[in-house]
A = this chain, B = another copy of it.
Amino acid sequence: MSGPDDAAAPALLPLYAQVKARLVSRIQSGDWKPGQLIPNEFALAGELGVSQGTVRKALGEMTAEQLLVRRQGRGTFVQRHTPESMLFRFFNFHDAAGQPIVPETLWVKVRKGIAKPAERTRLALEAGAVVVRISRVRGREGRPFDHEQIVVPQALFPGLADASEVPNTLYDHFQQFYGVTATGGEEKLDAVSAGEREAGLLDVAPGTPLLRLDRTMFSFDDKPIEWRLSVCALGGAHYSVRLG
């Protein structure tokens, strides 16, 4: 309606980017919750004092980043993590036939402790910060597939270490119970030999080649929320990457 500079926005960004930042912060703050229907384009445009096309551009970028889901005829919703959507996005293993692998948890142990230097670096924590460490073995069809060592800041997930059990899929649990949304991550892969301990956990012979994954997961503003070190006995399965 009025003009390009309206409210208290000292930014030097395009209007649509400022609109996007405002909408993202509404999700980040919990003002808009996962699964919730948000106002339509015209309502947002009127409220923010910009045109509908500008709102559309902001919503389009947020949809591309998987923060929103738009459905013609229904409306725009905040993306809600489900076990299925999380596996599809962040679990890249497929079997020999190309079918996605759905892992089960075979064994899990949760501890609490003071963050070690390596953990502080990965999770951007201050000295003395408390972390929750989850060690678990996951499998497919009852056979062990990978051993994961997961570290998260306790401050983000209070009570996680004391819960009676840890859910099989973590990221949807993080979102639903702690309001922490995983938005992306970085993963580093290499190959290692199974030592005595991994061989026992994964039921393979010592020396078996394993795929090792070193993953850091981020939320909004690239804030680290999880560090995960996995070793996998693939047994005919593989890790899939799309190049583009």
Contact = CB atoms under 8 A, between A and B. Distances in A.
Interface of A: 65-66, 89-90, 92, 94, 183-193, 207-211, 214-215, 217, 232, 234, 237-244
Nearest to A192: B209
A207 B209 CA distance: 8
A89 B243 contact: yes
A51 to B, nearest CB: 14
Contact of A242 (B186, B190, B214): B186
Nearest to A64: B64
B193 A241 contact: no
Contacts of A217: 243
A65 B232 CA distance: 33
A90 B186 CA distance: 16
- What is the oligomeric copy number? 2
Given A189-B189, A210-B209, A90 B243 contact: yes
Contact of A184 (B187, B208, B210, B243): B243
Nearest to A215: B243
Contacts of A244: 65-66, 89, 183-185
A216 to B, nearest CB: 10
Given A241-B186, A242-B186, A243-B186, A191 B207 contact: no
A211 B191 CA distance: 5
A66 B243 CA distance: 12
Contact of A214 (B189, B207, B211, B238): B238
B239 A184 contact: no
Q: Which of A185, A215, A217, A243 has the most CB of B within 10 A?
A: A243
Q: Which of A185, A191, A214, A234 has the most CB of B within 10 A?
A: A191
Given A207-B207, A209-B209, A209-B210, A190 B243 contact: no
